[in-house]
Structure 1
Amino acid sequence: MRATLRWAHADLRTHRGEALFIVLATAGIVASLLLAAALFGYATNPWQRVFTQSRGAHVWIHTGASTDAARLARLGGVESVSGPYRTASASVESQGARASVELRGVSGGPSTTGRPLLASGRWLDPATPDGVVLERGLARALWAEPGDTLTLPGTARTVTVLGTAESAEPGYSAGERPGLVWAPPSVVQRTEGRSGQVVGLRLADPDDTDYVVQRAVTTLGAGAVTQVSHWQQARAEAQGGNRLLGQVLGLFGLGALLAAALAVYGAIDTRIRGHLRDISVLKAIGFTPGQVVRSFLVQHLAYALLGASVATALIQILGSRVPGRLGDAVGVWQGLPGHTAALFGVPAAAVLFIGAMTGLAAWRAGRVPSVPVLRAAA
């Protein structure tokens, strides 16, 4: 083993440029795979991105207008609360399209928990008392944009769209679920539809969702709760349309990993071919084929580990500071549940692939005959 390490050290001192190239190539491959994983999570799981950025509530509970929903903040396991907000059922119409909506009275800026993420336009403004903000899916269904005017069928009242926003709550579904409209409390009070309240609960442990819902219903009374929605339901509905995209991106990711492994194999194999004379001399002085294979394998695995470690550290520390959508994707990905597993799993898989390719090339090095020049002369 000492002879192997001494030869690896001597080879490193002699061929520093080749070693640096392998380390940089490995770092580039791992960094690219980590960025691809971040973009994969950003593109295929928009609901998780919105939920993370908005500190979404795990449970939304609708109650009657006279219920003291503020008591839910004192339940065990509740980390923070959004609301309660006054609500009213209504219908809105724009450009011939009509949709049932839930008007939610909001005063001031968005709350810390379960806050809507503004996608276009601006938030509610006291200077525009009839201004509203539409949930993004509802805005698409109504073909509405900031500046448009919505009418409330059956009345002479109109509201002005100030902006659109994304929410982690279950989205609008025609005929099944009303769309969400954030409006000033005065607009909600003047609406003649069915009124009520809604409160969002962010839990310390998301796995306790069913238990907290049961306690909330017991605390308020079964007759006071009109509707309950939770984060698993919203996530399942949001992810349903992105499974094919996730499979396609995952297939391309595996293809990229295989291509990277083949590229590294080609580089290492070329390097070994350039050392045939050295390998022959090593065998002539007593190195066994196993020692030759182990020498190249240990040496290139060390290079791969160094390159993977550098790439992982750079992505973790500086990835979110990259300007543009890529930096946003990395910043969101760092807050997703599977971030830690991907951060260690992707470099580990890359190093294993490189180790396998290195072992194949090193095996070929182990078959090199000792002092082939003499054999050719004979």
Structure 2
Amino acid sequence: MRATLRWAHSDLRTHRGEALFLVLATAGVVASLLLATALFGYATNPWQRVFTQGRGAHVWLHTAPTADTAKLAALDGVEAVAGPFPSASATLASRGSRAAVELRGVSEQPSVGRPLLTAGHWLDATVPDGVVLESGLARALLAQPGDTLTEAGTARRLTVVGVADSAEPRYRPGEQRGLVWALPSAVPAPDARVIGMRLTDPEGTDYAVQRAVTVLGAGAIGEVSTWTQARAEAQGDYRLLGQVLGLFGLGALIAACLAVHGAIGTRIRGHLRDISVLKAIGFTPGQVVRVFLLQHLAYALLGAVAAAALTEALGERVPGRLGDAVGVWQGLPGHAMALFAVPVGVVLFIGATTGLAAWRAGRVPPVPVPRPAGPAGGR
């Protein structure tokens, strides 16, 4: 064992550039895969980005106007609440399109379940008839900031001042009403109140709903929506995109690992003379295999750990969409698993490819076989 360590130390001192290249190559592969994982989640699941950045509520309840919703904030497991907000059903029309909507009276952007503006600005008291549309509803009505909407059955006209993304269930004609935020004064006759609950345990939504029904009474709650329902609906729209990006990511993973495998194989082939000398002085084939395997596993482990640590610490500070993607990814439930599985998978793959190349190195004869000489006078 001492001889193996001494040879590995001597090889490291002699070939520092090659060792540094392998460490950096492994770090680059791991960092690229981690960033690709973050971008994959960012591109294929925009709902999760909205939910994370807007501190989405895990449960939304539509209650009777007389329900005492203040009791919900004191329930065990409730981290924060949004509302209650006055709510009324309506039908809006624009450019020949009609949609059933829920007018929700909100004076300022809530800290829980906050809509993320994509166009225009938030509600302003100087525009009492101004509204902000959920992005899916805005596309259905072909509306944008500055347009005017008409409330069916009345002469009332509303002005669109903004468009925002929401983590609540999106508008579906005939199934789910569209969401419209307006000032409380624009909801003169509310037929319900809406309250959102953000939980300390996201998986405890069923229990939280049962507690709310117990506290308020079954007759006081008219409609319930959870974050799992909204996520399932949103993810279904991007399933094909996720499969396409997954195939490209798999191809990139195979290409990167083959590149590292080629670098390791080339390095071992370049040490054939050293391997012959080692076997000539008494190293067994098993020792030769072991020394190369342990050496390259150490390089791979060092590069993988460094890449994971740098990505976790500095990834969110990268400007642009990449930094946003890493920030959202760090808040996902599977973040810790991916941060562990990707480096481990790369190290195991490098170990397998190194073991194959080292096995071939173990079969090198103790004395290098000379090249056959060409015939005298031949070309």
What TM-score comes out, normalization by structure 2 length?
A: 0.95
User: Which digits, 9 at most, give the CA deviation of each residue in 1:188-215, with x for residues without a partner?
Assistant: 11x6xx6210100111112221122112
Separation in 2, partners of 1:211, 1:13: 62
The alignment partner of 1:223 has SS state of helix
Structure 1 window deviating more from structure 2 (206-215 vs 53-62): it is: 206-215
> Cα distance, 1:375 vs. partner?
9.7
2:218 is aligned, of 216, 222, 225, to: 222
Query: 2:236: which partner in 1?
Result: 240
Give the count of matched residue pairs: 373
| Amino-acid identity (%) | 74
SS of the aligned residue for 2:81 comes to strand
- List per-residue Cα deviations over 1:319-349 (Å, max 9, x = no partner): 1111111111011111111111111110110
Tell me the residue number matched to 2:101: 101
Q: Decide which moves more: 62-71 or 126-135.
A: 62-71
Work out the CA distance in 2 between the residues paired with 1:329 and 1:209.
26
> Which residue is equivalent to 1:303?
299
How far apart are 1:148 and its partner, in Å? Answer: 1.1
Check the 8 A contact 1:49/1:336 in 2, yes or no. Answer: no
The letter of the residue matching 1:314 is: L
More off after superposition, 149-158 vs 270-279: 149-158
Who is 1:289 aligned against?
A: 285
Q: 2:197 aligns with which of 197, 201, 221?
A: 201
Instruction: Tell me the SS of whatever aligns to 1:200.
Output: strand
CA contact (8 A) 1:261 1:357 kept: no
Unaligned stretches of 5+ in structure 1?
A: none
RMSD of the TM alignment (CA)? 1.4
Counterpart Cα distance in 2 of 1:374 and 1:353: 34
Counterpart CA distance in 1 for 2:202 and 2:104 is: 25
Aligned equivalent of 1:213: 209
Q: Report the equivalent of 1:250.
A: 246
Q: CA deviation at 1:245?
A: 2.1
Instruction: Work out whether residues 113 and 202 of structure 1, in 8 Å CA contact, stay in contact via their aligned partners in 2.
Output: yes
Q: Distance in 2 between matches of 1:375 and 1:89?
A: 89
Superposed, which structure 2 residues align to 1:134-283 within 5 Å? 134-189=133-188, 195-283=191-279
Answering whether residue 123 of structure 2 is matched by residue 124 of structure 1, we say yes
Distance 1:293 1:280 in 2: 13
Q: For each residue in 1:76-121, what CA deviation from the matched residue of structure 2 results, as whole angstroms up to 9, or x when unmatched?
A: 22111100000011111111111010000001x2111111111211
What's 1:59 paired with?
59
Gaps of 5+ in 2: 374-379
Aligned match of 1:358: 354
Distance in 2 between residues matched to 1:375 and 1:259, nearest whole Å = 34
- 1:3-42 counterparts in 2 under 5 A? 3-42=3-42
- Equivalent residue, structure 1, for 2:2: 2
Deviation per CA, 1:276-329: give whole Å up to 9, x if none: 110000000000111111111111111111111111111111111111111110
Secondary structure at the aligned position of 2:219 is classed as coil
Letter in 2 for 1:48: Q
Deviation of 1:75 after TM superposition, in Å, equals: 1.7
201-210 vs 35-44, which moves further? 201-210
